Structure 1
Amino acid sequence: MLKEKALKYIEDNSDKIIDLLTQITEIPAPTGHEGARSEFIEKYLDDSGAVGVYRDKAGNVVYPYGIRPGKHNAVMIAHLDTVFSKDTPLEVTEKDGKLLCPGIGDDTANVVCLLLLAVFAAKYRPQIRCGIFFVFGTGEEGLGNLKGSRRFMEEHAGYVSHFWAIDLYYKKIYTDMVGSIRYRIKVHTVGGHSYLNFGNPNAIQVAAGIINDLYKMRPDEEESYTYNVGTIAGGNSVNSIAEDAAFTMEFRTGNSEVLKKCDQAIHDIVKRFSKNAQIEMDVIGKRPCAEGVPEESVDKMIARARESIRAIIGIDPEETTASTDCNIPLSMGVPAICIGLCDGALLHTEEEWIWKDSVKKGLRLLFHLVYKYYFNED
């Protein structure tokens, strides 16, 4: 019986999962440079007997299992990239029941659980109620701009009925996705000597003026949004009037119409400062909001996730918002939610950690979800 095979498989891999997690976590995978991890995942699947595994043009590793014509297939995606540079030391250590390493929870622990589920499918060939695309994606973090999810959905939208992002922690279900638009704004002026050319336009002053007006914006309850200036640079010396300055900024909101208004607002601000400066605005990232998603379909996915989390973890998960690979399918009207398969803290820092036992629970959670709703028992 499949259930017995699944339980035995989980038990047999309860120790191997930590070894596999350590191996993959210690492979550097900065956004845009996930190739070594992609190669490892692809080889691992091939060596496990998975048929039809391939890497697409975005670098995603895809294992299509039991795919059917039309929109009768699910996607399960975990992202390979991390926010850390290739020079960041990556060594998994254990202390007080925790596993510590940059990127171990976001998203490597989830990658490992999904990988072991895919290997189980390849090995035992369970009958399923709908096809599943197992996707190990690229470009989820930061300026990756959801490259992997975007590419996959552009190529497979006609085959996908619903979409699971396997990311973050299992104490929450990420049901609402936050859209964003990100700009690099560059300012150029004539500049000059700080004394001899006093009064010439100063690029830093212009950039500061734009930022000041941006921070005068006040979101309200009806049009909730956030903004941030993340980096700024410019000028040559203390005795030079800066001729160049640049900064990066973003807006975030869950409402596509509000995002459009925010976009127009920053263009209006920049226009006001363009009389004495040349100003360029380059889009460096855009994550869409949900559009036309059947609410009942999303609610059904939430209920399924909640049932499995209650059954395996023993908690009632909180529903919250995030920006994940789900943004892309939701913008195309495809139902999608995000769940995690581990528990930890300090993601996006070099002190990131997860509870060691949480990964084993996460594997059980994933099997509970898939076994209950996708695998046929006989």
Structure 2
Amino acid sequence: MDSCPAERMPVLLFGAFDRHNFGDMLFAHVAQALLPGISLRHAGLADRDLRAQGGHRVHALSRLAAGERDALLIHVGGEILSCDAWRAAVMLLPDPGFQSVVARLDSSPDEKLRWAKSFLGSSALAPYSASRLKYPCLARVVYAGVGGVELGRCPAQLRREVLADLEAAQAIGVRDSLTRAQLEAAGLSARLIPDPVVMIDELFGARIRARSSRPALAAILKNFPEGYLAVQCSADFGDDRTLQAIATGLRRVAARTGLGVVLFRAGAAPWHDDLAVLGRLAGRMPGGGALFESLNIWDICALIAASRGYCGSSLHGRILASAFALPRLSLLHPASGARPGKLAAYLATWEIPGLPTTVTPEHLEPGLSAALEADPLRLAARATELAGLYRTGFAGLVAL
């Protein structure tokens, strides 16, 4: 296993960037930039080509692994440790067809699992968690900044599978303290590092700022000469009462600050964002809201980077705003309850103490007003600090 020098080992970047999700698609770019001069293969659960949206041509890991020997696999990030086969498979379905599959199978756990295994061509309960146990061709496996906040609530069989995969890995890096505590309780050592997206400005800032001259963003900048807020919410915020609360808070902040509001999607895969929901939100903000329809991840980065601040439910919308040292506020769904999710766990680990973190829609106005008052120097210092921590952490994990 150790006879193949690291610089000549086949290197597979593995993650959920086989579907349209803003953060996951960025992970592969970050890892690639941090491994210059190395020939890489991009692996997911399915063959997909997301280059038109700024992503990669992705190949199914099962097929790539069959043609490799003594490969190094790097899990590039994401909340993968608690992602079961059903959710992984549904999120790979085309948007027009996924509702019928969910409606047909959702009430039957056994049928869901059988369908998911057939669709993915894998018996894994946690298919985004890879190891030599599942792919004997792999010589080394590294987890670089992954999450698993809900792992302790997963079915016991899935949890055992994930822990066995992690135990077989050469190095584990996790992105929040809650995930690390769960792994340590299971006897596994994990390094705590930030999410990979903290690197975006350092690695790609010039490329992103250059996109402000492209027609999609140039029109936004022209329409909002006093600046704008980049705002996003996932499809589950789409009931009338919740949308009205968001719109009311945004209108009041816009009236007080003179800022516009630009609504965008941070992911178009099933169970992510819905353009129709954002359109209904824009309709509740006459004259004050605009829809940004591009799904190219570099356009989305440019939209956030050129804004005066971010507000939304996306973890990576917020992390990208923090990478560009911008004010930010995260939206929690009213039904989320007190159970900490990945967003709350990440912010508790890495956000500046005292900075507003999350609010439900009815508290958007005071929360966003407070967020916009954040000290720019503190925001810039934290952005630099987190990028440095990730760069060092990634290098240490890969070196192991």
Q: Which category describes the TM-score, using the shorter chain as reference length?
A: under 0.3
- Normalising by the residue count of structure 2, what TM-score does the alignment of the two structures yield? 0.26
Q: Which has the higher helix share?
A: 2
- Normalising by the residue count of structure 1, what TM-score does the alignment of the two structures yield? 0.28
Q: Which has the higher strand share?
A: 1
Name the larger-Rg structure: 1
